[in-house]
Each structure stands twice: as structure tokens, then as C-alpha cells.
Amino acid sequence: MTNQYQNPKTKKVFDLSERTAKFGENIIEFAHSLPQTPINKPLISQSVRAGTSIGANYMEADAAESKKDFRHKIALCKKESKETMHWLRMVAAANSLKTIDCRKMWREAHELALIFSAILRKK
């Protein structure tokens, strides 16, 4: 198992551990920019928890002890990516001035979910 994936069409190598870690960092940075209102507090908490757990689960998948364990951890990555998409949508609904930032991060969470789906189909 490796944390790098090579796109067969472009021969470009992607480092998923770096990408998922960077995504988690971006979620944290974004959370700091949001006002601490009663509505935002649980949305921020859930977004940070789901968004940062993608990378943690990917690191566990990369160190999996078996193919079954690997598939399970990748499935968790996909699940957390999709959950992050939900919470970002809620954050955008509660913070109209942050919609553009939410959309950017939502797209990245969506791309990660698609990558994890592709991994699951192949393994």
C-alpha cells in the first residue's frame, strides 16, 4: 500500500496523505475565520471533525494490516469526505458571506470522495 497515486492519463503522481492533510489544515484555517455564533459553533465543530478525520483515516489506510482493513479505512475516508460536504453546505447556509470559500472546500471534499470511490472500485 502506498500513499501515492499515479494518474494513468497524465502520469502525474498525487500524494493523498499530503492532499488530505492540507485539506484538514484548510478546514481549520477556515473555521478560525467564522464568527462564533450559537448557530456556527456546532457547524464549525462538525466541519473540523469530519474534515480533519479524512487525513487521519487515510494515514490508517496507508498503514493497513490487510486488504480488508485497507478497504474499510478507505471507505471511512469516503464517508468523512461526504460528511464534510454536508457540513460545508450548512456553514454556507448560515454564513452567506463565506459561500465562495465553502464552495471551494466543498469541491475539494467532493474530489476526495470521488478519489476514494475510485480506489474502492479498484481494490
d(CA 92, CA 44): 11
- When pLDDT is averaged across residues 6-18 and rounded to a whole number, the result is 71
pLDDT-derived band of residue 42, with 50, 70 and 90 as boundaries? very high
Cα 32 from chain centroid (whole Å): 18
- The overall pTM is greater than 0.85: yes
Considering only CA atoms, which of 102, 110, 98, 114 is closest in space to residue 26? 102
Name which CATH class applies to 4-122. mainly alpha
Is the pLDDT confidence value at 122 over 70? yes
Residue for cell digits 478497504?
Answer: 71
Partners of 62 in the beta sheet?
A: none
* CA pair distance 105, 30, nearest whole angstrom: 9
